[in-house]
Amino acid sequence: MAMITIFEPDEVGNPSLIKQAWQRERFNADIESLVRKYPDTVVKRFRPGDPSSDRVGETVRQLVREMGRVILPIIVIDGEIAASGEYPVLAELEASLMLFRKEADRTLLPKQAGTGPDN
């Protein structure tokens, strides 16, 4: 199962939202397409100040603290930041999803006898 977590900017008082509005619409369609293609994908969305956003990783919290809300949106796939500052396109999302899945699969594979640096 893959987890995509999206930290989006507030809609009120954000001048960059006009620019991001069309990106967000395209991104929402891309996310729907991705979930249809990979049904085991779970998507969660947060905005700054959401009570549940307190559970975000320290990396995301530190990024927002250092860069401000201009860094939003931040897209996290399986705990790794895949994109920030703009909504990625479908090809970027899917490439990140596949990359993180391959890395996760590699760490979950049982070590085979006679392979690796210990042998």
Which residues have a Cβ under 8 Å from the Cβ of 63 and sit 6 or more positions away?
A: 71, 74, 81, 84
Ordered domains of the chain (ranges, CATH) = 2-108 (3.40.30.10)
Residues 6+ apart with CB under 8 A from 33: 90
Residue 68: the pLDDT is 86
Q: Report yes or no on whether pTM surpasses 0.85.
A: no
Residue type, 31: I
Per-residue pLDDT at 59:
81
**Is residue 90 within 8 Å of residue 80, measured between CB atoms?**
no
Query: Which residues are CB-neighbours of 44 under 8 A, at least 6 positions away?
Result: 3, 4, 5, 6
Q: Provide the percentage of residues in the chain whose pLDDT is more than 70.
A: 69
Mean pLDDT of 17-42: 86
| Residue 85 backbone zone (phi > 0: left; psi -120 to 50: alpha; other: beta) | left
Q: What pLDDT is recorded for position 42?
A: 92
Q: Are 74 and 93 in contact (CB under 8 A)?
A: no
Question: Among 41-50, 67-76, 77-86, where is mean pLDDT lowest?
Answer: 41-50
Average of pLDDT values for 12-27? 70
Mean pLDDT of the chain: 79
Determine if residue 100 is left, alpha or beta; phi over 0 gives left, psi from -120 to 50 gives alpha, anything else beta: alpha
- pLDDT tens, position by position, 40-69: 999 999 887 676 665 666 788 888 889 988
- C-alpha span between 111 and 92 (Å, rounded): 31
